[in-house]
Amino acid sequence: MEIDKEGPKGVTEEGRKVAAARCVEYKEAIQDYLDAKKDIPCGLDLTEKNEQQKKKILSVLGGSEEEWNDWKWQVRHMIRDVKTLAKIFPLSDEEKEQIEEVGKDVRWGVSPYYASLIDPDDPNCPVRMQSIPSIQEALDPSVVTEPETILYNSPAPCITRLYPDRLIINVTNACSMFCRHCLRRRDIGHENIRYAKESVKEALDYIRENTEIRDVLLTGGDALMVSDDYLDWILSELDAIDHVEIKRLGTRTPVVLPMRITDEFCEMLEKHGTIFLNTQFNHSKEITETAAAAIKKLTRAGVLVGNQTVLLKGINADKHIMKKLMQDTLRIRVKPYYIFHCKKLEGIRHFRAHIEDGLEIMEYLRGYTSGLAIPTYIITAPSGRGKTPVNPNYILNTNVDGQVLFRTWGGHVMKYDNER
């Protein structure tokens, strides 16, 4: 093969000049992000700091390094009382009272691992905001008037069906954490409930009878809060149904309890055909070496991992923070899938952003960063009418003399010939 020193032909000197000028524009277009990015903490850079908190928590809980890596130990030692919490990071008397008060209404609990990611010196730490009750929850006057989605959309026990070809089986209401922004806050209850095997069998019967169902999501709660054997059983039952082509798992464990992703668990998953796992990273601080290791194991087992972020004011409802999150999830092999708009629910008003905020975020993703880093922004329609994408508008006018008028990500207005 011949070697050409200059690379592809067809670029003139003039062309290089134009390209150079465009490149200056590209760089300028993200300069604000490059400046802002420096101040956005990422878990991958905080290993040392998190490690110190981990040591502290281990000494408070009296655990060993080995126990720390055991997810069952993590679940058993979920931090759910103010006294323990106060030993891990400083809390004022007022804060202690407020956590007690709010926690009575909607329970709280945080895994030792996730607690180790909290910055003790930052009351607005995004990890803290997601896990520790805030008085804002009690101050929220919102009243939910919308009928519960489940009321009209459960044709069989444990099933939620909103779509033609796919549905959810709810296997448990248990979670590895009770996220303060949880859109199912009211379902969390005060007890962990695993739904009876009999109910799941009825759900499986429903799927067998409805041959258009080709995609089954196991979720809850958190699908990974049941045992490997139980999941193995459900997945095997689904494998045996010809028309079920893919299976999905909904779980926050890679974020809040990554040690749940054990080698044995991954070996089990590997037996079960095509599995997608969707999780919920909401801030770059959650992207840690431990989370990355868990994802790597999953991908080795052939599992495809996606991320469903919730748009949260004070946490990620910011174009720079969200972009960094999307880029950081990609770094650990997680594909951004959805950004969910946070719906109006009792107790979470302080987290709610406006749709305009979400649109601005989307505007500054497309073009500005890898297409891979761009999820779909979703509003969940009331009454279970389904996920609805909302997007910045790029088409300005259709059909002007066979032309479509649109704008580019960079703001160039252009005509596109639409004639055949």
Residue 167: name its binding partner from ligand PLP, ligand SF4, none (Cβ under 5 to 8 Å by kind).
ligand PLP
The answer to the question of residue 214 lying near ligand PLP (CB under 6 A) is no
Residue 252: name its binding partner from ligand PLP, ligand SF4, none (Cβ under 5 to 8 Å by kind).
ligand SF4
The answer to the question of residue 167 lying near ligand PLP (CB under 6 A) is yes
CB 36, min distance to ligand SF4, A: 27
Residue 387: name its binding partner from ligand SF4, ligand PLP, none (Cβ under 5 to 8 Å by kind).
ligand PLP
User: Rounded CA gap, 335 and 290, in Å?
Assistant: 18
Which residues ranging from 249 to 288 are in contact with ligand SF4 (CB under 6 A)? 252
Residue 50 φ then ψ, to 5° = -65, -35
Residue 168: name its binding partner from ligand PLP, ligand SF4, none (Cβ under 5 to 8 Å by kind).
ligand PLP
CB of 88 within 8 A of CB of 79? yes
User: Rounded CA gap, 110 and 257, in Å?
Assistant: 10
CB 219, min distance to ligand SF4, A: 8
CB of 335 within 8 A of CB of 325? no
The answer to the question of residue 171 lying near ligand PLP (CB under 6 A) is no
CB 274, min distance to ligand PLP, A: 14
Stretch that binds ligand PLP, among 127-135, 165-173, 321-329, 359-367 (CB under 6 A): 165-173
User: Measured from the CB atom, is 178 or 364 closer to ligand SF4?
Assistant: 178
Taking CB under 6 A as the criterion, the residue among 73, 87, 148, 163 binding ligand PLP is 163
Taking CB under 6 A as the criterion, the residue among 46, 82, 102, 217 binding ligand PLP is 217
**Cβ neighbours, 10 Å, residue 47:** 11
Site string for ligand PLP, 376-415 (x = CB under 6 A): -----------x----------------------------
Taking CB under 6 A as the criterion, the residue among 29, 162, 241, 404 binding ligand PLP is 162
User: Measured from the CB atom, is 46 or 244 closer to ligand PLP?
Assistant: 244
Strand partners, 376: 338
User: Rounded CA gap, 299 and 96, in Å?
Assistant: 41
Number of residues that bind ligand PLP (CB under 6 A): 8
Q: Is 147 exposed, middle or buried (0-12, 13-18, 19+ CB in 10 A)?
A: exposed
Residue 182: name its binding partner from ligand PLP, ligand SF4, none (Cβ under 5 to 8 Å by kind).
ligand SF4
Q: Is 68 exposed, middle or buried (0-12, 13-18, 19+ CB in 10 A)?
A: buried
Number of residues that bind ligand SF4 (CB under 6 A): 9
Which residues ranging from 19 to 48 are in contact with ligand PLP (CB under 6 A)? none
Residue 217: name its binding partner from ligand PLP, ligand SF4, none (Cβ under 5 to 8 Å by kind).
ligand PLP
User: Rounded CA gap, 155 and 306, in Å?
Assistant: 28
The answer to the question of residue 166 lying near ligand PLP (CB under 6 A) is yes
Which residues ranging from 166 to 225 are in contact with ligand SF4 (CB under 6 A)? 175, 177-179, 182, 184, 221-222
The answer to the question of residue 168 lying near ligand PLP (CB under 6 A) is yes
In sequence order, what are the residues at sequence separation of 6 or more whose Cβ sits closer than 8 angstroms to the Cβ of residue 245? 214, 215, 274
User: Measured from the CB atom, is 130 or 160 closer to ligand PLP?
Assistant: 160
User: Rounded CA gap, 36 and 38, in Å?
Assistant: 5
User: Rounded CA gap, 313 and 380, in Å?
Assistant: 18
CB of 314 within 8 A of CB of 352? no
Strand order, beta sheet including 166-170: 159-160, 166-170, 215-219, 246-250, 275-279, 304-310, 335-340, 376-381, 386-389
User: Rounded CA gap, 329 and 370, in Å?
Assistant: 12
Alpha helical stretches, state H, 189-317: 197-209, 228-239, 253-256, 263-270, 289-300
User: Per-residue DSSP letters for 155-191?
Assistant: SSTTEE--SSSEEEEE-BS--SS--TT-TTHHHH-SS
Residue 162: name its binding partner from ligand PLP, ligand SF4, none (Cβ under 5 to 8 Å by kind).
ligand PLP
Residues that bind ligand PLP (CB under 6 A): 160, 162-163, 166-168, 217, 387
Residues that bind ligand SF4 (CB under 6 A): 175, 177-179, 182, 184, 221-222, 252
